[in-house]
Amino acid sequence: MYEGVVQDLIDELGRLPGVGPKSAQRIAFHLLQADPTDVRRLADVLIEVKAKVKFCSICFNVSEDDQCRICRDPRRDQSVLCVVEEYKDVVAIERTREFKGRYHVLGGALDPLSGVGPDQLRIRQLLQRIGNQVDGRDVAEIIIATDPNTEGEATATYLVRMLRDFPGLTVTRLASGLPMGGDLEFADELTLGRAMSGRRVV
Ligand SMILES: [Zn+2]
């Protein structure tokens, strides 16, 4: 245990994902020795990102405006929605350049043991989105692109059940070939691109 504010810093850093107690200590001591200007820049960008970046009101992608870049782009196909867990999955799929539709970001995956049920995700908003577009711009296809792990599979199964009864809606999933147990964003572009183009109807 360290004195006052140093320990506070270690505690705060230790709450970040993937940062264990040892790493938290190492980062804290790095910051203590770093140039004040560098530390100030880090502090500023942390505050700025929270102030500026919000969620897109349509797809819940992160965005600096009310609607994200993808939802604002008239060239993106409105009839195809790709459902992903997190913003980083949008980035991963965009990198493949295989997808020209739009997204819906759930904000996680079903994980009952950690208290994440359907109400904690943006599933209701997804159903509303599909139900609302009745003016000749119906959503024709939903691509479920959750992570290839237990929680992602459970989420996909749940979504398929919820989406089954929408008339005229095709529900597809990414083709197999993604490394099981992993996160979508860790798949290389080629594999993810192939999984997208080879998606199958469920
Ligand atoms: Zn959006």
Q: What is the pLDDT of residues 115-151, one digit of tens each?
A: 899 999 999 999 989 886 544 457 899 999 999 999 9
Measure 69 CA to ligand 1 centroid, in angstroms.
7
3-state DSSP percent of the chain in helix, strand and coil, to 5: 50, 10, 40
Q: What is the pLDDT of residues 162-183, one digit of tens each?
A: 998 888 899 999 887 777 777 8
Measure 55 CA to ligand 1 centroid, in angstroms.
8
What CA–CA distance (Å, rounded) separates 97 from 57?
24
pLDDT category at 184 given cuts 50, 70, 90 is confident
Measure 53 CA to ligand 1 centroid, in angstroms.
13
Measure 159 CA to ligand 1 centroid, in angstroms.
20
Measure 118 CA to ligand 1 centroid, in angstroms.
21
What CA–CA distance (Å, rounded) separates 103 from 111?
22
Q: Tell me, what's the pLDDT at 147? A: 93
Q: What is the pLDDT of residues 54-101, one digit of tens each?
A: 999 999 999 999 999 999 999 999 999 999 999 999 999 999 999 999
Residues 6+ apart with CB under 8 A from 45: none
Q: What angle do CA 126, 132, 175 make, to 5 degrees?
A: 40
